[in-house]
Chain A
Amino acid sequence: MIAVRGLEKSFVQPGGELVPALCGVDLSMAAGEFLTVIGTNGSGKSTLLNALAGGFPPDAGTIEIDGKDVTRSPEHRRAALIGRVFQDPYKGSCPSMTVAENLRMAELRGTRRGLRLGLNAETRTRYRDRLARLRMRVENRLDALMGTLSGGQRQAITLIMATLRRPALLLLDEHTAALDPRAAERVLLVTREVVQEDGLTTMMVTHSMEEALELGERTIMMHRGAVMADLSGEERRATRVSDLLERFAGLRHTIEYTIQHRAPPPA
């Protein structure tokens, strides 16, 4: 259960100008819901994900994850609840550590890390089995350095890392955008499987409207820091990419009007 209420955030531009990035986002997600997020550049979709992950404290509003108010909880604490895959496949793992070490580190996300040897026969077997289910031939590369794998392999493993310890919320930030088409397809397939098998509450930002409508069961459209459309059920099934494009074109006017008439956000 995720509840976002009245979330606002502005960033100070290099010139000193205050630019609103989130202008009062309200959003609630049921447990196990798979939500996709689309929006133009600068619409606030990545900012929303960062706010949920705890990258910065919001100016106003609250964030609740599984009944806990995490609005003021720092990122490394909140990590216990959140699994995350970044757009850049190099951002999600440690290149000069082995695949197994990366998995071990991720498995302990948000827990105390003690002075026990990280890897043993049991953990290694478990990781090998888990990686085998990717069907990407990475299960025999437990001791390879993460940096020697391809972008697609790394991203698939990062996805496993994000879900090895079950997250209350899985955040995917255009996680296939930097991959070649074949790898992207593979990683999407894996995403679908992982989310479905574990019934994970998932929020996926994507630049592809096809993907947005195809994956998951609900799609929101963001524009200028607010949720401008929220599609699910029958309405979403009937929606085509062309409809979305039309809505984007139609939105522009109303939004500009709304933004201009908003009270300036608190500094």
Chain B
Amino acid sequence: MGFWIAALTQGFAFVALAWGVYLSARVLRFADITPDGSFTFGAAVAAALLVQDTHPLIATAVAVAAGMLAGYVTGVLHTRLGVSDLLSGILVMTALYSVNLHVMGRSNISLLDTKTLATPVLTLFPATASWPDDVTFGAIFLGVALLLGSLLTWYLRTDFGIALRSVGDNPAMITAQGVDRRRMIELGLALANGLVALSGALIAQYQGFADVAMGVGTLVAGMAAVILGETLRARGRSLLLTILMVAAGALVFRLLVALALRVGLNPIDLKLMTAVFVLGALALPRLRRRAAVTVR
């Protein structure tokens, strides 16, 4: 039981990451690999601040701001300097590796003795002291996800959000509508990587450490969640449903990972399996089409 609760708690922390990847990959249709760096960046900034006894809420907020800055830089590299979307992200992700080491001062920071987001919750609701850590964190992360989900749904329905969504949907047309495509990409990527960094900050506090290598494979994991969400969504197309299903995708992904490890998958193979899964999801429509052509 505790095993599943731990997976679910991780899943709730992953929801922000899934939404971030959904924003860049699906809404903006920008191949952004910054998340592999910005996830760690969020964790590193939060951890560095927490060991200096910063209030956990402030530490987490600064981590989000750091992630937004990383995304913004990726956007600027692409829109103002003409670097391809993929390479912009790779450059920022690579640079962030050094930045993260600088921020942490070493490759690993333990958060076992520091305050975390669970600390203020324990003060506010003393009853939660008897809960296992997993449940406390799970409740916090669920709350964060609900709040974020409402904000995101509202945001994408505002006049600004509608323009942001149009950037990926029809880039030729938005300029004719007076939307500055470059500005939208910069702000959209900032938002996406802010969400990714939040995920990193939450995971670090939950697992009790930040590590410079923890971001490897973040984008692929996020893509897996988005793809699972789209499969779950099936035919429904409303914005709210999509956002909910991407979140569900993050949960299903973490549960699948937990299940795979439970039945004896070597943790070393986890990223390989994730990559194969995403590849399969990407290649399947093409293989199916080819099969259909051959049959005919």
Contacts and interface: CB of A to CB of B under 8 A. Distances in A.
B162 A105 contact: yes
Interface of chain A: mostly helix, strand, loop or mixed: loop
Given A92-B173, A97-B165, A109 B158 contact: no
Contacts of B170: 91, 93-95
Nearest to B155: A115
Contacts of B175: 75-76, 79
Given A80-B178, A105-B162, A93 B173 contact: yes
A117 B154 contact: yes
Contact of B176 (A75, A97, A101): A75
Nearest to A171: B176
Contact of B166 (A86, A91, A105, A117): A105
B178 A97 contact: no
Interface of chain B: mostly helix, strand, loop or mixed: helix
Chain B contact residues (Cβ within 8 angstroms of A): what range? 20 to 34
Contacts of A113: 158-160, 162-163, 179
B233 interface: no
A109 B162 contact: no
B237 interface: yes
B186 to A, nearest CB: 14
Contacts of A75: 175-176
Contacts of B237: 96, 145
B133 interface: no
Contact of A94 (B154, B159, B169): B169
A108 B174 CA distance: 11
Given A93-B170, A101-B162, A115-B159, 16 more contacts: A53-B176, A75-B175, A91-B170, A92-B176, A94-B173, A96-B169, A97-B162, A104-B159, A105-B166, A110-B178, A113-B162, A116-B158, A117-B157, A117-B159, A118-B161, A119-B157
Interface of B: 154-155, 157-163, 165-166, 169-170, 172-181, 237
Q: Ordered nearest first, which 4 A-B pairs have the shortest CB separation?
A: A79-B178, A110-B178, A94-B169, A113-B159
Interface of A: 53, 75-77, 79-80, 82, 84, 86, 91-97, 101, 104-106, 108-111, 113-119, 145
